[in-house]
Amino acid sequence: MFSDKFKYRLEQFTTYFGIGAFILHFATIMAIQLGLLQAKYFPENLFGHPFSALFSPFSILLVYEVYLLVFYLRKSYTKSVAKQMEIMALILLRNSFKDIGKLLQGDTPLLQSDLLKDLIGFVSILLLLWIFSKIDSERTDSKYELTPQFIKLKERLSIVLMFVFFGLSVFSFTIWIFELIQYSDNHASLQDPSHIFYKEFFTLLTFVDVLLLLSSAKNLQNTILVIRNSGYVLATLLMRISFGLEGWEKVFTIVIGASVAVFMLWISRRKVFLV
């Protein structure tokens, strides 16, 4: 699961599956507009406009990004946090395509639309991710010692998280498809697709981060790294909380979480702490 060969094959599968999902989604929307399928069986926010078809390939890409998050967790905690920020940015960008469809239908003015909120959040996260990556690339010669026990713990947690990732993704997608089939009978039963899988996964990821934090307190020789990892846990928790919020509160919470991660990385690289 962590070999370059498996990573390459999963990347290829993601590409073809994403293209297939886009074609199927677009064909369904066109069939609805041509009257070949009844609109009442499909939620309007996902099947009301051709632009909404872009939601599917981005959803597939997001699943691959979650795999990369776990892939890098065993190598570098910092790179794993960067992947979390990438995932949140992609979620906001994916939502934007759904928002564009609603905007073109004339349901909501631009300044009051979710599109404006999601785009502002997307741009903000990208800027923070750029700062985060720039700080991380400017590594000093100073190396932090990791004990063999801590390295083994990261490996084991990554393996467990990978199995949970695959199981949870299949389970969440199956449940959502079942709810979609029943959509015409009970519209309220269909979950927001933005919350599928990620709410549960980020909850689990928060607990994994806490385990790494508790272990790092014992196995890392530098105190500032323990403090930095504590900040990373807080950043992950804030991103998890955002899935239960709406509108500007959601965007603000994501941006604050990413800002905490950037600050903790920046402060941990100051010369006064590099001893």
Q: Which residue has the tokens 């390459």?
A: 8
Residue 42 Ramachandran class (φ > 0 left, ψ -120 to 50 alpha, else beta): beta
Q: Are 87 and 45 in contact (CB under 8 A)?
A: no
What are the structure tokens assigned to 237, written together?
A: 């928790």
CA distances from 89 to 53, 127, 237, 264 (A): 19, 10, 16, 19
Q: Are 46 and 55 in contact (CB under 8 A)?
A: yes
Q: Which residue has the tokens 């509108």?
A: 247
**219: number of Cβ within 10 Å:** 18
Nearest 5°: CA angle at 263, between 258 and 267? 155
Q: Are 98 and 45 in contact (CB under 8 A)?
A: yes
φ, ψ of residue 210 to 5 degrees: the values are: -65, -40
What are the structure tokens assigned to 207, written together?
A: 């607990």
Q: State the DSSP H helix or E strand holding residue 2, giving kind and residue range, or none if neither.
A: none
Which residues partner with 146 through β-bridges? 220
- Taking each continuous run of H as one helix and of E as one strand, the counts in the chain are 9, 0
Q: Are 179 and 189 in contact (CB under 8 A)?
A: yes
pLDDT attached to residue 141: 47
What pTM was estimated for this model as a whole?
A: 0.79
Mapping DSSP to helix (H, G, I), strand (E, B) and coil, where does residue 249 land?
A: helix
73 CB burial (10 A radius; 0-12, 13-18, 19+): buried
From first to last of its 275 residues, what are the pLDDT tens digits of the chain? 677 788 888 889 989 998 998 999 899 989 988 888 887 778 777 787 787 788 788 888 888 888 888 888 877 888 889 999 998 998 888 888 776 766 666 666 666 677 888 889 999 999 999 999 999 887 654 455 566 776 777 777 778 888 887 887 778 778 777 777 776 666 555 556 656 677 777 888 888 878 777 776 665 566 777 788 888 989 988 988 888 888 889 999 999 999 999 999 998 887 666 65
| DSSP string for 122-179 | HHHHHHHHHHHHHHHHS--S----B-HHHHHHHHHHHHHHHHHHHHHHHHHHHHHHHH
pLDDT attached to residue 196: 67
d(CA 47, CA 252): 28
